[in-house]
Amino acid sequence: MPDADTYLFVVCFVADGTIDALAAALAADPEAFAVQARWLTHDGGELPASGEDFHPTSYVRESVRRSPDDDWSDPVEYSVTLQLTDRVHPFCALIRNDEAFRRTVEHVGLSPAVVQAERGGKWWDTLGLLTQVMKTHGRHWTLSDQGVIHFGNVSWSSDWAAEKAAARDRLLATYSPEAGLGEAAGEGVGDDEQDQADQ
């Protein structure tokens, strides 16, 4: 969509004017390629801007073959340093749709990426490598004072997915027009969620 000015990656909004605030912050900083919201949790907490490197190094064993009929090569082992914090996170980011961004998406993409190196490789999560390429254009990303709820990491654990789906459903019930704003429509809505609804 080259005719769009920006792209918005969204989740669960908790305050009016969030998109306007992101747009104003992006417009106020011409060198920024993106503005990211703060990561709020459904229980009233807040996570670091771009996650944490819980396991800063991963170890990889890699084997390749040239065709389906060839034998696998002897495995090669190497380590990669995880670059989780050095990126704009896609859970809620407003990204300027300019030529530098479009060319980076075209030639590099938005996906996670691994770089192998003699002195140790690096691994970037989604938008991580794109963030590094945008630095070569003199561009950076900023953190907004606005926050949104993000139900992250649901693909890692079925238990996490079920827990967060239940929390999502409670929030939807609480804020649905049928329930009425400020009424907890389902059992188990937390105090923090009820306080937000009452406001």
Same domain, 18 and 32: yes
Domain count of the fold of the chain: 2
Same domain, 82 and 116: yes
Look up the domain containing 18 and give its range.
6-150
Q: To which residue do tokens 């800063």 refer?
A: 56
Same domain, 128 and 176: no
Same domain, 142 and 127: yes
Same domain, 142 and 82: yes
Which tens digit of pLDDT belongs to each residue from 141-183?
999 999 988 776 666 677 777 877 787 788 777 766 665 544 4
C-alpha dist (Å) from residue 6 to 82, 102, 111: 28, 11, 19
Whole-number average pLDDT of the chain: 81
Same domain, 70 and 133: yes
